[in-house]
Amino acid sequence: MSEAVHVRSAKGLEQEVEIGRHRLVADEPTDGGGTDAGPDPYQLLLAALGSCTSMTLRLYARRKGWPLEGVDIVLRHRRIHAADCADCETKVVAIDQIDLEITIRGSLDEQQRERLLEIADKCPVHRTLTSEIKIRTRLVP
């Protein structure tokens, strides 16, 4: 089990996030009613996915002894109509889509680059987001 993440409401929509010794702030942009004091929740989710993907690629390349010099990832989240998604199982009106663009730096051959693309979808956060998730919510005294 991972270390607990503590989130406390602050002023307005601003949230104080505490993860062990790390402190973050989450907020909504001004057009969403916040003060833009920090990334919004979806940006934090994208940061988790991008970080995990990059770490997974670096660890895999290190284990294989490949000359991977760096990984740059750009992520975007949007809602799309299910009718626009030919390979989606659900037929609800709208679904979430994350676009993940990876730039791999280093003198890797085409086979290595293709393998890293396959490995990118195997990072633990990616697997969590694409599997069935059970979230148990309860009030505590």
**What distances in angstroms separate CA 124 from CA 36, 54, 57, 79, one per listed residue?**
29, 11, 12, 23
Tens digit of pLDDT at every position of the chain (141 positions): 778 999 999 999 999 999 999 999 999 999 999 999 999 999 999 999 999 999 999 999 999 999 999 999 999 999 877 665 555 665 566 888 999 999 999 999 999 999 999 999 999 999 999 999 999 999 999
CA–CA separation, 111 and 125 (whole Å): 24
State which CATH number among 3.30.300.20, 3.30.360.10, 3.40.50.620, 3.40.50.1700 fits the domain covering 40-133: 3.30.300.20
pTM tops 0.95: no
Could you give the CA distance from residue 78 to residue 125 in angstroms, rounded to a whole number?
Answer: 18
Q: What is the DSSP letter of 35?
A: -
Residue ranges per structural domain of the chain: 1-39, 40-133
